[in-house]
Every structure is written in C-alpha cells, then in structure tokens.
Amino acid sequence: MSALPPIPAHPVTPAQPGLALPAALTGRRLPSWAPPAVTAGAVAVAGLLFAATPLQGRAGFVVVTALLSVGSQTALSFAVEGRRRAVDRMFSAFVYASFAVAAVPLVLILWYTVLRGIGAINLRFLTVSMFRVNPDNPGGGIYHAIVGTLEQAALATLMAAPIGVLAAVYLVEYGRRQPFARAVSFFVDVMTGVPSIVAGLFIYALWILTLGFQKSGFAGSLALFILMLPVVIRATEEMLKLVPAELREAAYALGVPKWRTILRVVLPTALAGIVTGITLGVARIMGETAPLLLLVGTNSRIETNPFASTDAQRLQEALPTFIYEQFRDAVGNPDTPAAQRAWGAALTLIALIMLLTGLARLIARLARVRG
C-alpha cells in the first residue's frame, strides 16, 4: 500500500440554473371546502347535462360526474396551487377511484346475496334436508348440503394442508436451486391454473374408471384436494421465504439440527401466513361445483358418511351443487321457493367461508407468541 494522495478540497458548487430556492416556504392552498364544493358543482352540471342532452343512465351519470369532478378540481388546483399539487390531487383521485371500482363488485355481491338470501334462512332451513320435498313447493332445508360441504372440505384440507406445507418446506429449505425443486415449483404454478372441471375429470378417470370405485363424497374431496394443493404450496412457500435467514443461522449456531430449526423456529415464525394460505385454499374449494357434479352427484337426504357409495340413495349433497340444482329448478324465476332456497344456500356458503376465515385468523393470532 503506497501513501494515499491528499484529499482534494471540495469545489464550491455553483448555483445551479433552473433550481432557484422558493421565494417563500408557504404556498397557496385550496381551502378545505373546495373539493366537496367542486364535487357538488360537478353533480349539478352533470344533472343539467343529462336533462338537456340525450345522455342518460345511472352508470353514465356516475362516470360523467366523476370525470367532471376530477377534471375541474385538477384545473382549479393547477391555477391556485401550482403543478405539483395539481398532479398530486389528480393521482390521489385515481387511486381512490380504482379502490372504489375494485370494492364495488365485492360489496354488491355480498349486499345482494344478503338481501335475497336472508329471508330464506331460519333455524328450520339450516336443520332439515330436502327429503320428500317437492322442489316447486316451499319448505325443506340445506342441512344435508352443509354436512356434505363441511365434510368434503375437511377431508380435502386434511390431505392438502400437511402435504402442501411439507412440499413448500422441501422447496424452500431443502431443494433450493435444484432442478427437481424448480420443476416442482413450475408445475405448482401450472396446477394453480388448472380448471376445476379438469381436476374433476382427472379424478373421475383415475378413481372411478381406472380403480373402479363408485361416486362418493370422498371422490369429490380428492378433486378438491388437487385444487387446494397448489394454493397451499404457493402461499406457504412465499411465507417461508420471508423468514429471515438470520433466524435459521441463530438456531444452527446453538447446535440445533436443521429439521428442528424448521419445526420450532421457521414454521412458527411463518405460521400466521401459512394459516392464511390454507384458509384461502379452503375458501376456494368450498365453492367448487363442477368436480362435485361429476364425482359426488346430488341427493336430497342427509348422508353423513363421505365414503358411502353403495347406491344413489347414499350420495352426499354439497352447498354449491344444491345451489345449482335449485337454480335449475327455479328456471329463471326469482320468486319461486327453489330460487329462494338457492339464495339462502348461497348466503350460508359465504357466511361459512367468512366464519372459517375469521376462526383461522383468531387461531393464528393466539398462536403468535408462545414458548
């Protein structure tokens, strides 16, 4: 190492052209009542426009009002506050509008289902089956479908959750950068996009045509398992990748073997995310219809045994297939008892999924800090 050259003195920075200091630190702002006032004005102008011109329709009114409001607010802001704040206001408006557009369908679906379904739901509806109920008559219930859905989803989850989590552990902790792990990861991505009817046909070909079993609730859960597996693997994989390498090193440095590190340090750290991933998978499969129509069939009475498949009398119903059946029987008339039962079942299905999601969150929260 030779002696280092002396450090040159910093050249004095000349005043840069075009970047003058602001004359004052304060700036002119629009008063806080301006945005609502502009929006009110936009509503008024749009109303006049729709009254005077051939424009019509509620959706069109909302769009025209929104555009008018954002446009005039941006223009006003540009005149008073300057370019930077005008751009800020415009993009803020776009961000909020995008959120609203994304949230509207979700809220509408929920709202409409509650509106149509809440009238059908009562204790009797939830606790009796459709056995010996004429589809055209009122009465009957969805107990048999709730039993089927819960059992089939539970069986699928019992298979998909452990296999999915272990597969993700392999991908992240053991197989990193290996060709086999890359191939598995690729096929998991492909499987995420497999249409549910294809999963159903695959199980039909394997379980029923090749192995010679009958239709049953369990055959349905096999298809649901295939649909749920990639969701669980992908979610768990992402969560395990988020666990800092420092935590693994801390455990290794204590002389903890790798498998114990994974079991006691890595998985608990990622638990909340893994539970969320499994819940997402459950939510996805609980609404699946196509594979169940193929593999389970339908039944109007209660069948608690998902493995029962001796004859058509002992098949399992599920909520999605029940909804499908009732809509078919309603033949497009929303006032028939069948249509009301379908809305009631749809609301029950959504409520079940929300309940399970909430329960899973609660479990993950309770398990967060523990020895």
Partner 1 sequence: MAMSIDVSGLNAYYGKFLAVRDVSITIEPRSVTAFIGPSGCGKSTVLRSLNRMHEVIPGARVEGKVLLDGEDIYGPNIDPVNVRRTIGMVFQRPNPFPTMSIFHNVAAGLRLAGTHRKSELQDVVERSLRGANLWNEVKDRLSKPGGGLSGGQQQRLCIARAIAVQPQVLLMDEPCSALDPISTLAIEDLIDELKSTYTIVIVTHNMQQAARVSDRTAFFNIAGFGEPGELIEYDDTSTIFSRPSNKQTEEYITGRFG
CB of 7 to partner 1, least distance (A): 12
176 is a contact residue toward partner 1 (CB under 8 A): yes
Handedness of CA 272, 277, 281, 284 (dihedral sign): positive
Member of 51, 253, 331, 366 binding partner 1 (CB under 8 A)? 253
Interacting span for partner 1 (CB under 8 A) from 65-73, 123-131, 278-286, 363-371: 363-371
Nearer to partner 1, 1 or 211 (CB): 1
241 is a contact residue toward partner 1 (CB under 8 A): no
CB of 237 to partner 1, least distance (A): 17
Instruction: Take residue 194 and report the two structure tokens written for it.
Output: 């497999």
249 is a contact residue toward partner 1 (CB under 8 A): yes
328 is a contact residue toward partner 1 (CB under 8 A): no
- Which amino acid, one-letter code, is at 99? F
The DSSP secondary-structure symbol of 171 reads I
Interacting span for partner 1 (CB under 8 A) from 26-34, 147-155, 255-263, 311-319: 255-263
366 is a contact residue toward partner 1 (CB under 8 A): no
Q: How many residues bind partner 1 (CB under 8 A)?
A: 29
CB of 19 to partner 1, least distance (A): 35
Interacting span for partner 1 (CB under 8 A) from 225-233, 265-273, 293-301, 319-327: 265-273
CB of 9 to partner 1, least distance (A): 19
Handedness of CA 79, 80, 85, 86 (dihedral sign): negative
Contacts 24+ apart (CB under 8 A), 209-216: 213/309, 214/309, 214/310, 215/295, 215/296, 215/297, 215/309, 215/315, 216/295, 216/296, 216/306, 216/307, 216/308, 216/309, 216/315, 216/316
268 is a contact residue toward partner 1 (CB under 8 A): yes
Helices (H) and strands (E) counted in the chain, each on its own, are 14, 0
Determine contact, residues 229/164, Cβ cutoff 8 Å. yes
DSSP states of 181-213? HHHHHHHHHHHHT--HHHHHHHHIIIIIIIS-P
CB of 260 to partner 1, least distance (A): 5
250 is a contact residue toward partner 1 (CB under 8 A): yes
Contacts 24+ apart (CB under 8 A), 243-246: 243/269, 243/270
CB of 367 to partner 1, least distance (A): 9
CB of 363 to partner 1, least distance (A): 14
Q: Which of residues 113-142 bind partner 1 (CB under 8 A)?
A: none
- Which amino acid, one-letter code, is at 113? T
SS3 call for 180: helix
172 is a contact residue toward partner 1 (CB under 8 A): no
Member of 42, 161, 251, 296 binding partner 1 (CB under 8 A)? 251
- Nearest CA to 296 out of 227, 213, 352 is that of 213
Member of 152, 261, 299, 348 binding partner 1 (CB under 8 A)? 261
- Which amino acid, one-letter code, is at 76? L
Nearer to partner 1, 105 or 179 (CB): 179
Determine contact, residues 45/68, Cβ cutoff 8 Å. yes
182 is a contact residue toward partner 1 (CB under 8 A): no
5 is a contact residue toward partner 1 (CB under 8 A): no
12 is a contact residue toward partner 1 (CB under 8 A): no
Instruction: Take residue 330 and report the two structure tokens written for it.
Output: 């309603």
User: Which residues here bind partner 1, judged by CB under 8 A?
Assistant: 1, 3-4, 176-177, 244, 246-257, 260-261, 264-265, 268-269, 271, 368-371
